[in-house]
Each structure stands twice: as C-alpha cells, then as structure tokens.
Structure 1
Amino acid sequence: MPVGGAAPAGQAAAAAPVEEEKVAEKTEFSVKLEKFDAAAKAKLIREIKNIIPGINLVEAKKFVEGAPKVVKEGLNKEDAEKLKKTLEDLGATVSLD
C-alpha cells in the first residue's frame, strides 16, 4: 500500500490544466444613463428626445428622471463611444455595457 507520494495514473490526467477559452471581443454595446447633473436636465431631456425615435418631450423627461436606464442597445463600439461622449458633455454619467 503506497503512502503519500504520486497519484495513480487515472487521477493525474484529471488534474491536468484545462485549456482556457478565448474571450471573444465584444462587438455590441449598450449605452446606459446612470445619473445626471440637475443643472443639465433640460438639455439632456432634449438630447434624449432626439436620440430615441418616436418619443415626445414628456416621455423624454420621464426617461431621464427614471435613470438609470438604457438609452440605446446593439451599437458598435465607435457609435457607443460617440453617444457616451455626447451625453457626458451635457452633464450625464454614462456607462457602456
């Protein structure tokens, strides 16, 4: 009966490191309005109204006041970064998911 030492051959194969899966680069992003500066609320509401098709000013106001909310989904990285910068320039805190 062996004491300590090497593991039987069957267990050695199970202990071999598993190959790591390659992480695919993300190609679609969501732009999320996290919060906003109260002084910039009116400008942000007008911009949201322009960004989201088919909503009126009242709906845009409710959208902004309901933050955190996703503004747009399925954008490529360039468009998502551009939208993020636009909203941040208006006084919003924005994240990309």
Structure 2
Amino acid sequence: MAKLVTADVLAGLKEMTILEINELVEAIEEEFGVTAAAPVAVVAAEASAGSDEPTEVTVVITDIGQSKIQVIKAVNAITGAGLKGAKEIVEAAPEGVVKENVPTEEAEDIKAQLVEAGASVEFK
C-alpha cells in the first residue's frame, strides 16, 4: 500500500459527503477502539468529581473564651441579629450557629472576626 500524505487525506475528505465522513469516523472508532468525543467534557467531569471541599459551610462557635462581650459584639456585627440575638447565639456555645450555608470565603472572614474577638470557631 502506498504511503498517504496528510494533504492527500484532506483532499479525499473534501470530496466526501457528510454521511460518508460520518461512516469513516465510525469505522475508525471501531478499528482503533477510540471515540470521537471531546476530551474537554471528560476533563471537566473529572475536575468536578475530584473536589471534596464543600462550597458552603455552617459557622459554629465552639468556645467563647474569656471575652464574652467582645464575641457578642462580633456576632452582632456579623449577623445583624441585635444584641439579644447575638447573646443567645454566643451562649449556645459549643453549638452556637452563627451563620448557615455560607460560602467558604465568607466563612473564613467570619472566623477571623470571631477568633480576633476571642472565640473558637469551626465549620460544619
């Protein structure tokens, strides 16, 4: 068999109909055990499947530390729940839920504010 040059293959493809090209693709897939599927879709599926980190978390006060008033003020500023509502959240520690279903970036900011006020915080 004569060796085909890329230009010859392209010239042959230009003369074929879409139906003939489709049959050629199917024959190539069958002969070589490959698919003509776009690899981008596979990469995107693998990337999303590999992400174990949650996108939203619940911020919980586990310990209020020594400065209860500072923690109450911080919770009030974060939640806007008022002083009474903030006090109830703080006094519910170690299960005091500050905010639920918060994006992880915002949760990190909230944690930083609460830790600065003297509280211990975790994400659930």
TM-score in terms of structure 1 length: 0.66
1:27 aligns with 2:65: no
Q: Which has the higher contact order (CA 8 A, sep 6+)?
A: 1
Give the match for residue 87 of structure 1.
Answer: 114
| Structure exhibiting the larger radius of gyration computed from Cα positions | 2
1:69 aligns with 2:96: yes
Unpaired stretches in structure 1, ≥5 consecutive residues: 1-20
Name the CA distance, whole Å, in 1 between partners of 2:73 and 2:123: 21
Name the CA distance, whole Å, in 1 between partners of 2:99 and 2:76: 12
Give the share of equivalent positions with the same residue, in percent: 33
Aligned residues: 75
CA RMSD of aligned residues (A): 1.8
Name the CA distance, whole Å, in 2 between partners of 1:51 and 1:77: 15
Name the CA distance, whole Å, in 1 between partners of 2:75 and 2:117: 11
Question: Matches of residues 31-42 of structure 1 in structure 2 within 5 Å?
Answer: 31-38=59-66, 40-42=67-69
Q: After the TM superposition, which parts of structure 1 deviate over 2 Å for at least 4 consecutive aligned residues? A: 21-25
Q: Name the structure where strand makes up a greater proportion of residues.
A: 1
Q: Name the structure where helix makes up a greater proportion of residues.
A: 2
SS at match of 1:72: strand
Unpaired stretches in structure 2, ≥5 consecutive residues: 1-48
TM-score in terms of structure 2 length: 0.53
